[in-house]
Structure 1
Amino acid sequence: MDKAKILLDLQVNELKEKGNRALNANNFDEAIAAYTEAISLDNKNHVLYSNRSAAYAKANQFEKALEDAEQTIALNPTWWKGYSRKGAAEAGLLRFRAAMQSYQDGLKYDPSNAALIQGAEEITSLLIQNVTSNFNTPMDVDPQPHTAEPKKSEPPKPAEPNVDEMNEEERKKYLAKKEKEAGNAAYKKKDFDTALKHYHAALEEDPTDITFHNNIAAVYFERKQYDECIKECEKGIEVGRANRADFKLIAKAFARIGNSYRKLENYKQAKVYFEKAMSEHRTPEIKTSLSEVEAKIKEEERRAYINPELAEDEKEKGNELFKKGDYSGAVKHYSEAIKRNPDDPKLYSNRAACYTKLAAFDLGLKDCETCIKLDDKFIKGYIRKGKILQGMQKSSKASAAYLKALEIDPQNAEAIEGYRQCSISYQRSPEDVMKNALGDPEVQQILKDPAMRVILDQMQTDPKAAKEHLQNPAIADKIMKLIEAGIVQIH
């Protein structure tokens, strides 16, 4: 039984449930953070991406919702919910035709699914109303908010104001606004050259508006001209500060600088600017971006610290102190060696030996588990584990560890001796065994289980049956409990 895998699954499930509770309470930021942490532990779990997609969608972060929906489908192409998530995200982005296709793709796998059918019906009505519109609004270039087609009963739009009747300042701001609107229209069509011309023209008319700098920076970002994007945002921030711009616009500029540095893989600088954006205006999206780059920085630092040669030096220092009986000092050197070379199972085995001497059995056991996970053929890991479990008075589990060692090397003297000692510890009088069993409700419940009775009888008549039943984690756990109680013995 892979306890490390079980513990990991439990941790992932706890984070998923935490995210579900937050999502149900409309705490989208908390839900996204919980799902993100769960994904960092299990990035092959399609349900986690599906749940995070739902959280992003409810937080109106539809681009990210779409990315997670697509990842859900990639991991499980026949699961209807991935297509439902994708359709919802595309609908949120006003990509109605794409949303319709996603719902139809999902119905290929589950033709009677009510959620997919309802989604397709809703999109059908929206397509009829908006069939000639362009809904693919890139990034956040301050586009005009999407509204439904005006009803026939609505009054006609007011006539354009007369520029000749405006004063100089009003005229410039009006002309700047018209240039920005023309730039936004070109941006939506990905005609970036034309968009830049209009945004620069808007700046010439009104150089006090940070929005125009932000829009120019958005074009550079789309073109992957990240250095130019950063410079333009810096200009915009300077203009915004001087003209007391809305703090949300300044936060947007800082966040875009952060995203540019992230694209350049300069995560430390990205972190600086996401933090500046948060100081201006906290949003779930910026907080998530900050958490993601912090994780990148941590991983970079971990990788940069790895040095097998220095790890070997630290191991030798630890060995010297271990020989002298300075186990605490040895632990420090082995720990440093592990940081320098975290994939070497021998280092964990050595530190586990120190923890055993210090009677820190829980820490030693954890190192043994890591050691075995890194190399399941490393016999020393099982022997160390057996000795620690003996120290913890868990003879049956210690015996199982020694048996694993003997599977690798049947002649290993340490494993043979450890197993012999564990066998001796089982030799208690039947009266003592029964007394202990009757006092343990868990043991009584196992013995009353008809299925377990059959299994126990089978194990008595067929020695190979024990090994087969131990392959089932649930049965193995019950058998181990009976071994510890002395009711079952392995010979």
Structure 2
Amino acid sequence: MSSEEFKAEGNKYFAAKDFEKAIEYFTKAIDASPEPNHVLYSNRSASYASLKNFPKALEDAEACVKTNATWAKGYNRVAAAHYGLGNLDDAKQQYEKALQLDSNNAMAKDGLKSVENAIQSRNAQPDMGLGAIFSDPNLITNLKNNPKTKELMKDPELVNKLVQIQTNPKANATQFLSDPRLMTIMATLMGIDMDAPEPPMPSSSKPEEPSQPKSQPEPKSEPKSQPVPKSESVPKSQPKEEKVEEDVEMSDGEKETADQLKAEGNTLYKAKKFDEAIAKYNSAWETFKDITYLNNRSAAEYEKGDYDAAIKTCNLAIDEGRDMRADYKLIAKAFTRLGNTYLKKGDLHEAAKYFDKSLTEHRTPDVLNKLRSTQKEIKVKEAQEYINPEKAEEARLEGKDYFTKGDWPNAVKAYSEMIKRAPEDARGYSNRAAALAKLMSFPDAVQDCNKAIEKDPNFIRAYIRKANAQLAMKEYASVMETLNDAREKDMELGGKNLSEIDQLYNKANSSRFQGIEGETPEQTMERVSRDPEIVKILQDPIMQGILGQARDNPAALQEHMKNPEVSKKINMLIAAGVIRTR
């Protein structure tokens, strides 16, 4: 495949919001491009930004402006990446550069306004005195060497939080409210006595979970868990079977008693005796306050099907966990179970909300996949609910009216509404392609035509509009490929459009071989004679025989032209000037 073909695939996946696939194809397009192409870097930057991978987005955006320093949209990409990274001043500077190149650039205007609002909001926030405390450039190194904090600093997420606070103390001051480890670090920096026990470190082992019931009693030490998978697809509205978390730290007698009750509850849970398990977990909670027991109780209530009780228990676990400064991973588990429960109840918006809350506490691939799956299902459901053939027809007629008046932007808007209302109607995509072509947005027009052809492979008008857009971009080989497909389909349907297809084909051929400015006719002929496709035709023994007959009997050429393949080759030779008709 060529660079342009890879690019077209990338555009298709980007439009479908499959950004990882889009990145894959834009990368292939960049590798296949004979010279650096700023548009490809821009597209891949947009894909990375859509995945919130702003460092990669910035890297590609900078490659874009390095390749073409006069393209305003490239600076928009740089600005958007800086904005995502929290570099507001840099983002503002880049949007201003874009406007210097293109004062009417709407994206730059909107982006600059958003950045200025964010800067104003940032400057209005108190920094809780953090600016002075976190100003030391050797802060991270000192904390890693401090015996009170070195273990905490082994967590890369915590280190990243500190870097964010250093970069912008005002905007990140509230992180101290959600992570008790940051309070420990701040106390160390302020010289407060740290002889009191440190907050517990997150366990490096995976939470232990029940699997199948065993015939023998459970030992006091909990069974080992299965590793958390790197990624997991969640079936629609069917979250995977709930798990219960295990606690591995033992302390005083009450804790030991509570853990024994929990172990008994786990055995009952595995045996699917949920009522008895709930009673054991409840007794464990009453014996010793550890929200692990509440999380386990909510899991049993979930499996029992008592979703309202599970929701109530999860909320209790979160509230109690906040008060006792519980491990943020345990609170994240409670939020995840809330998400699963609402998913089971069919409340997708609430499910997405709580999956997102879980990720703010502790980010895991499993929960991230659940959030994305739920958000995707919400969009699909909303799109299905929006479908209305009658409204689609109203939008089509409105678009036609705007198109007739030459109001192309509003025509695009109306046809977009038609597509939303009737996504399987190929006419919406084809009509929007026509309006986009009027706005000189040829790549988008080609993309819409591809969608129309996908919906209705026999829609000849979509092929013709696609070929016209490709011709405007001087993609002559692509034009001919599109028209060959159109001719084949049209002949199957009766050949009503063959004349228009052939005219466009000849126009593309003529444009392909026309002389370049400053080139003499002899130089043009010399260049054309080296064209690989022309050389291939002239070396074809069959074509050599046909051309030999034509020299002796020109009328014989008309007979050979009845063969579509021969006709195509002869027309190309005519367009190239190899065969002269006069």
| TM bracket (short chain) | 0.5 to 0.7
3-state SS of paired residue (2:440): coil
| CA 437–197 in structure 1, closer or farther in 2 if over 3 Å, else same | same
| CA 345–293 in structure 1, closer or farther in 2 if over 3 Å, else same | same
| CA 223–457 in structure 1, closer or farther in 2 if over 3 Å, else same | farther
Could you tell me whether the CA contact under 8 Å between 2:426 and 2:451 is conserved in 1? yes
Spell out, residue by residue over 1:253-292, the C-alpha distance to the aligned partner (whole angstroms, 9 max, x if none).
1111011112223221112111221222222222222222
1:173 aligned to 2:255? yes
Q: What residue identity is the alignment partner of 1:379? A: I
Could you tell me whether the CA contact under 8 Å between 1:355 and 1:361 is conserved in 2? yes
Could you tell me whether the CA contact under 8 Å between 1:379 and 1:408 is conserved in 2? no
Deviation larger for 246-255 or 219-228: 219-228
Could you tell me whether the CA contact under 8 Å between 2:352 and 2:371 is conserved in 1? yes
| CA 139–295 in structure 1, closer or farther in 2 if over 3 Å, else same | same
1:189 aligned to 2:271? yes
Equivalence map 1:330-349=2 (5 Å): 330-349=411-430
Could you tell me whether the CA contact under 8 Å between 2:281 and 2:293 is conserved in 1? yes
Tell me how far apart the structure 2 counterparts of residues 265 and 421 of structure 1 sit (CA, whole Å).
53
1:202 aligned to 2:284? yes
The answer for the alignment partner of 1:237 in structure 2 is: 318
Tell me how far 1:330 sits from its aligned partner. 1.5
| CA 408–368 in structure 1, closer or farther in 2 if over 3 Å, else same | farther
Q: What residue identity is the alignment partner of 2:399? A: G
The answer for the alignment partner of 2:9 in structure 1 is: 7
Could you tell me whether the CA contact under 8 Å between 1:210 and 1:236 is conserved in 2? yes
Equivalence map 1:10-21=2 (5 Å): 15=21
Tell me how far apart the structure 2 counterparts of residues 392 and 459 of structure 1 sit (CA, whole Å).
34
Equivalence map 1:75-224=2 (5 Å): 139-143=242-246, 170-206=252-288, 208-224=289-305
Could you tell me whether the CA contact under 8 Å between 1:270 and 1:293 is conserved in 2? yes
Equivalent in 380, 391, 397 of residue 316 of structure 1: 397
Q: What residue identity is the alignment partner of 1:205? A: T
Could you tell me whether the CA contact under 8 Å between 1:433 and 1:486 is conserved in 2? no
Tell me how far apart the structure 1 counterparts of residues 269 and 542 of structure 2 sit (CA, whole Å).
71
Equivalence map 1:289-308=2 (5 Å): 289-308=370-389
Tell me how far apart the structure 1 counterparts of residues 546 and 273 of structure 2 sit (CA, whole Å).
75
Deviation larger for 452-461 or 309-318: 452-461
Q: What residue identity is the alignment partner of 1:436? A: R
Could you tell me whether the CA contact under 8 Å between 1:314 and 1:334 is conserved in 2? yes
Q: What residue identity is the alignment partner of 1:422? A: Y
Q: What residue identity is the alignment partner of 1:406? A: D
Q: What residue identity is the alignment partner of 2:9? A: L
3-state SS of paired residue (1:369): helix
TM-score, normalising length: structure 2: 0.49
| CA 406–144 in structure 1, closer or farther in 2 if over 3 Å, else same | same
Percent same amino acid among aligned pairs? 33
The answer for the alignment partner of 1:379 in structure 2 is: 460
Tell me how far apart the structure 2 counterparts of residues 340 and 356 of structure 1 sit (CA, whole Å).
22
Tell me how far apart the structure 1 counterparts of residues 574 and 10 of structure 2 sit (CA, whole Å).
25
TM-score, normalising length: structure 1: 0.57
Tell me how far apart the structure 2 counterparts of residues 144 and 376 of structure 1 sit (CA, whole Å).
59
Query: Which is helix-richer, 1 or 2?
Result: 1
The answer for the alignment partner of 1:435 in structure 2 is: 526
1:365 aligned to 2:446? yes
Task: Give the count of matched residue pairs.
Answer: 346
Spell out, residue by residue over 1:420-452, the C-alpha distance to the aligned partner (whole angstroms, 9 max, x if none).
353366467996775234665x659x8499xx9
| CA 213–383 in structure 1, closer or farther in 2 if over 3 Å, else same | same
Tell me how far apart the structure 1 counterparts of residues 287 and 540 of structure 2 sit (CA, whole Å).
88
Spell out, residue by residue over 1:190-240, the C-alpha distance to the aligned partner (whole angstroms, 9 max, x if none).
33233222112212323x221111111111222333222111111111222
3-state SS of paired residue (1:244): coil
1:400 aligned to 2:484? yes
Tell me how far apart the structure 2 counterparts of residues 10 and 486 of structure 1 sit (CA, whole Å).
34
The answer for the alignment partner of 1:420 in structure 2 is: 503
State the Cα RMSD in Å. 4.9
Spell out, residue by residue over 1:142-174, the C-alpha distance to the aligned partner (whole angstroms, 9 max, x if none).
3477xxxxxxxxxxxxxxx9xxxxxxx954433
| CA 286–432 in structure 1, closer or farther in 2 if over 3 Å, else same | same
Tell me how far apart the structure 1 counterparts of residues 366 and 542 of structure 2 sit (CA, whole Å).
54
Tell me how far 1:135 sits from its aligned partner. 7.8
Tell me how far apart the structure 2 counterparts of residues 17 and 347 of structure 1 sit (CA, whole Å).
28
Tell me how far apart the structure 1 counterparts of residues 382 and 577 of structure 2 sit (CA, whole Å).
51
Equivalent in 347, 350, 353 of residue 269 of structure 1: 350
Could you tell me whether the CA contact under 8 Å between 1:459 and 1:465 is conserved in 2? no
The answer for the alignment partner of 1:76 in structure 2 is: none
Spell out, residue by residue over 1:275-329, the C-alpha distance to the aligned partner (whole angstroms, 9 max, x if none).
2212222222222222222222222222232222212111111111222222232
The answer for the alignment partner of 1:72 in structure 2 is: none
Tell me how far apart the structure 2 counterparts of residues 240 and 95 of structure 1 sit (CA, whole Å).
26
Q: What residue identity is the alignment partner of 2:499? A: I
Tell me how far apart the structure 2 counterparts of residues 349 and 17 of structure 1 sit (CA, whole Å).
26
Could you tell me whether the CA contact under 8 Å between 2:210 and 2:269 is conserved in 1? no
Spell out, residue by residue over 1:100-134, the C-alpha distance to the aligned partner (whole angstroms, 9 max, x if none).
xxxxxxxxxxxxxxxxxxxxxxxxxxxxxxxxx98
Tell me how far apart the structure 1 counterparts of residues 397 and 379 of structure 2 sit (CA, whole Å).
27
Could you tell me whether the CA contact under 8 Å between 2:437 and 2:469 is conserved in 1? yes
| CA 377–421 in structure 1, closer or farther in 2 if over 3 Å, else same | closer
Could you tell me whether the CA contact under 8 Å between 1:389 and 1:397 is conserved in 2? no
Tell me how far apart the structure 2 counterparts of residues 338 and 95 of structure 1 sit (CA, whole Å).
48
Tell me how far apart the structure 2 counterparts of residues 280 and 288 of structure 1 sit (CA, whole Å).
16
The answer for the alignment partner of 1:282 in structure 2 is: 363
Tell me how far apart the structure 2 counterparts of residues 464 and 215 of structure 1 sit (CA, whole Å).
79
The answer for the alignment partner of 1:27 in structure 2 is: none
Could you tell me whether the CA contact under 8 Å between 2:298 and 2:313 is conserved in 1? yes
Q: What residue identity is the alignment partner of 2:341? A: S
Tell me how far 1:249 sits from its aligned partner. 1.1
Tell me how far 1:463 sits from its aligned partner. 8.3
Unpaired runs of 5+ in structure 2? 28-47, 53-207, 213-221, 227-240, 515-520, 550-559
3-state SS of paired residue (1:342): coil
| CA 362–279 in structure 1, closer or farther in 2 if over 3 Å, else same | closer
